Chain A
């Protein structure tokens, strides 16, 4: 009887972040059948000993491709050419090519495949040697690798991976998959495939880029092809897919090289350093040099000198001295520029190699096997790949570290992550009720989509005084059907909101929802990546385009900020007079404060081109990147709290005294900054920014749309203003609201801003005359909010 043909397919997807998964089609669907999680890269940039030997960095001894080792340097010849870059720069390029050629003769083939001088100065080269000289399947590799164990057991395997894959006639991912498919035989027990292109795309264009999106679509296609081919060829296929690391959006650079050059210390004499993109490693010849470098690095906000606890935490405490005597690690989102891999003129938009625990630095982990139940597991360490593979290959070895034995995470709630009993059931009841009501007025409705927080599965709920579970803020729904009935869905939403006890039920009715191929609105993005179908066929969600975050126009972010200004202004009804809102108003205002803070975070994420629909991801990403780009820490903390609050709201946490005015200030400051970014200008203050925005965004088309929307309005809008196009209705309303918000002070109102706001509003409506006091502020607020609700919401 022939033995079963059983394959373990190991696919390394270079720089595949866990949150890339929804941006694929086949993989995203297939992942539901898998054990899912994320993977922490081993500290540094040399992970193969972990994957194939189960070694931690402290056991592998080295964490980087280059180490300080003048005696073993393959670039010794550069000693004789150290003068070239200074004296004969035109010869530098041919010298590098020759040094690479000679260097390759001096190392084993595996190291030769990746040996390069990169951008290491020629005079520095002879100080460095390569650490990873042998392939994991080479008996000289120094550990008993997975490949060597298979060979010892008489089992055959196949691999196509970096760096040797670069020697194929074509080394793009499609060619690699073609090669593996051609070479794969039924007798193989293991196939290891490394698809690399996504890494370069992430570095050059950034993780939220369109190029990465296209790369993901290609990866999706290739992985599907490979998996399906293997499933046809073998009786059983286990598939282990992992991303070696993630990709963090770069928002800031530091010229550490320049700082070190000016230190007065001499390279090679006092110290030696190696500048990677995200860390600098040092070796000292004198205590004075060490002291000086520590003095230079300590005050830098861009990173930290790793202390003993870091060395322990990152498992590098036992590494070879040549790997680094002192390490300065940058915070996520920051890169050293220039460094020994990138010149100063090479822009890098994505990077990895930070603290391995940084969420965006994590890679994906997927395990498919007939014998493994799908589910989610917490992040695993890179060396657990080895132990998992060992178990899947039924090779002897410890099983405790295998992913198969990791405790599963609790199943995520469908609508909310709040740890309240029956919360999902309560929301389901509300949604059933809403769906039934919509159906009662629109029986022909074909589909109903739930978007927003609840659609993404992270809607906020709280327990009121009576112990009842209540949803927070709003339900956002999109109803689709052939013929939209002549029904006021806005009014229906308001009525339903009242009945449920929620601020809003927003119902949008469409004939057919066809989002644009490019430039999606935040709503489009939300629908594609964060919605659930409550009614209708799931087919309709699979046809939606897959967007890259960078495709969302920045104007969406500015609009979001303006809308949050409006939200606050609604919540501030009569606030100037009483300053003691009742419970309902306090809750409403708390919601608006939270939404305003989230909008600030969202604006930055949009600006950095790495927006995500999930609050949990936005929260972590914003906190890291904002710290990297110098956003004030108080604001970062509040925005983090706001994202968290949205998932697990607690009204008692928010005291208006502590939250309202700082949020107001931050929101308006961010608005000025956002308008400057959007219009490529440098507004001097809020009024200047609003004027710039108005001038940039006014358009006849927008005005006509406004006029259509308010055909039943109660205001006499001066017709000639709109047709002439000199005034933009929406920018004017937004401007007036922002000015009114700016006017509000803890104990008074600023008459200048009230006056300006009145001036702006008077372009659209007649206003009574008043003194510039609280009353005037309230009259203006009433008018502006009314206009916003009619024309902008």
Chain B
């Protein structure tokens, strides 16, 4: 029989999120993984989350703690202190987990001792909980697993609840920096990876992130300030690693820039080629139109000629019948003369005369 699975602690800080917290707790308690403990740290909420949590309070895995409002990182840290799990997950009260999230992430940490934490993609949902798209964690950075320190410096945000981290890692590098507010999680991941811990990324949306009007990330100024503070702290802690990472990032940036220029040049060449092809196409179209018109004109001329020819034939036929009629009339008229000439021995002259008339009238 294999060893018993380790306890996973899901820490849910909650401040003024009473309307969402039940869903977060529900998703945490109903994971297809055991053993679990769920710790809700009520950070001095005024919207009475306890009322929403009442149905769950009797659950043996749930622990409810209330403290005066101290801020998000402090609430998470309190959760860490109160927890006993070997692996820890931080779930904000307005978000929730897929039923398989803990199982899939814990499995990686169990099988791969070389990774300090495991993280995944997240599904963005609107206030009503309807999915609006993936968080795109897998697309944000080229290097997702292994030593991701440098790639984290370049960005590629992932929410705290995408992470399952070993308690031992936090005991080694420390908890959330309580002075960094909205970037306390980012700083923690940098600190963990800066200390040499490797990360593994699961390319699957195992958690849900709710967008709503009171998200802390919407406070732009706060986010800017806290990020700068986080980075200053990291640079001071890991100057060598940061320098190496920046060197790598600069080189990568340079590479990407050159690659883009090259691709842009090829694109320009292709566009020029397309333009030339379009011009050639237009020229051929013009030519085709011209020759089509020319063909129509010639066809019309041909028709006209054919009409003329048929008219000529008709008139020639008409003229021939007219001449025949005229000749027969002449014959009738000349017959008495012929009879007279025959009687008087001058008939011989009438034959060439007759032929002459026939020739003149073009009658065969």
- Residues of A at under 8 Å CB distance from B? 71, 76-81, 84, 91, 94-95, 98, 102, 266, 269-270, 285-288
Which of B111, B146, B258, B262: most chain A Cβ within 10 A?
Answer: B262
Known: A80-B263, A91-B266, A94-B266. A288 touches B112 (CB 8 A): yes
Q: Is the CB of A81 within 8 A of B251?
A: no
Contact of B200 among A81, A98, A286 (CB under 8 A): A286
Known: A98-B262, A287-B111. A79 touches B256 (CB 8 A): yes
Known: A76-B252, A91-B266, A286-B200. A269 touches B259 (CB 8 A): no
Contact with A along B12-40 (1 / 0, CB 8 A): 00000000000000000000000000000
Q: Is the CB of B259 within 8 A of A285?
A: no
Contact with A along B292-316 (1 / 0, CB 8 A): 0000000000000000000000000
Q: When A and B form their complex, which 7 residue pairs have the shortest distance between CB atoms, in order from nearest?
A: A80-B259, A77-B255, A80-B256, A76-B255, A81-B259, A77-B259, A286-B112
Q: Is the CB of B258 within 8 A of A102?
A: yes
Known: A76-B251, A76-B252, A269-B144. A81 touches B112 (CB 8 A): no
Contact of A79 among B144, B200, B255 (CB under 8 A): B255
Give B292 Cβ to nearest chain A Cβ, in Å: 34
B179 contacts chain A at the CB level, 8 A cutoff: no
For chain B, give the interface size range: 20 to 34
- Further 20 A-B residue pairs, CB within 8 A, beyond A91-B263, A95-B262, A269-B144: A76-B251, A76-B252, A76-B255, A77-B258, A77-B259, A78-B259, A80-B259, A80-B263, A81-B259, A81-B262, A84-B263, A98-B262, A269-B201, A285-B146, A285-B200, A286-B111, A286-B112, A286-B200, A287-B112, A288-B111
> Binding site of B, secondary structure by majority: helix, strand, loop or mixed?
helix
B215 contacts chain A at the CB level, 8 A cutoff: no
Q: Chain B residues near A71 (CB, 8 Å)? A: 248
B213 contacts chain A at the CB level, 8 A cutoff: no
Q: Chain A residues near B258 (CB, 8 Å)? A: 77, 80, 102
Give A389 Cβ to nearest chain B Cβ, in Å: 41
CA distance A79 to B144 in the complex (A): 14
B126 contacts chain A at the CB level, 8 A cutoff: no
Give B140 Cβ to nearest chain A Cβ, in Å: 14
Q: Chain B residues near A81 (CB, 8 Å)? A: 259, 262-263
Q: Chain A residues near B48 (CB, 8 Å)? A: none
6 contacts between A and B (CB under 8 A): A76-B251, A79-B255, A269-B145, A285-B146, A288-B108, A288-B111
CA distance A287 to B110 in the complex (A): 11
CA distance A286 to B114 in the complex (A): 8
Q: Chain A residues near B343 (CB, 8 Å)? A: none
CA distance A270 to B115 in the complex (A): 13
Give B111 Cβ to nearest chain A Cβ, in Å: 6
Contact with A along B92-126 (1 / 0, CB 8 A): 00000000000000001001101000000000000
B260 contacts chain A at the CB level, 8 A cutoff: yes
Q: Chain A residues near B262 (CB, 8 Å)? A: 81, 95, 98
CA distance A270 to B248 in the complex (A): 22
Closest B residue by C-beta to A266 = B203
Q: Chain B residues near A287 (CB, 8 Å)? A: 111-112, 114
Q: Chain B residues near A77 (CB, 8 Å)? A: 255, 258-259
Known: A286-B200, A287-B112. A79 touches B142 (CB 8 A): yes
Closest A residue by C-beta to B248 = A71
Q: Chain A residues near B257 (CB, 8 Å)? A: 80
CA distance A95 to B145 in the complex (A): 28
Q: Chain B residues near A102 (CB, 8 Å)? A: 258
Q: Is the CB of A80 within 8 A of B260?
A: yes
CA distance A285 to B146 in the complex (A): 7
Q: Is the CB of B252 within 8 A of A79?
A: yes
CA distance A76 to B248 in the complex (A): 10
Give B103 Cβ to nearest chain A Cβ, in Å: 15
Give B266 Cβ to nearest chain A Cβ, in Å: 6
CA distance A95 to B251 in the complex (A): 19
CA distance A567 to B248 in the complex (A): 74
Give A664 Cβ to nearest chain B Cβ, in Å: 55
Give B155 Cβ to nearest chain A Cβ, in Å: 16
Closest B residue by C-beta to A91 = B266
Q: Chain B residues near A94 (CB, 8 Å)? A: 266
CA distance A79 to B255 in the complex (A): 8
Give B255 Cβ to nearest chain A Cβ, in Å: 4
CA distance A79 to B249 in the complex (A): 12
Closest A residue by C-beta to B115 = A286
Known: A94-B266, A286-B112. A80 touches B255 (CB 8 A): yes
Give A125 Cβ to nearest chain B Cβ, in Å: 11
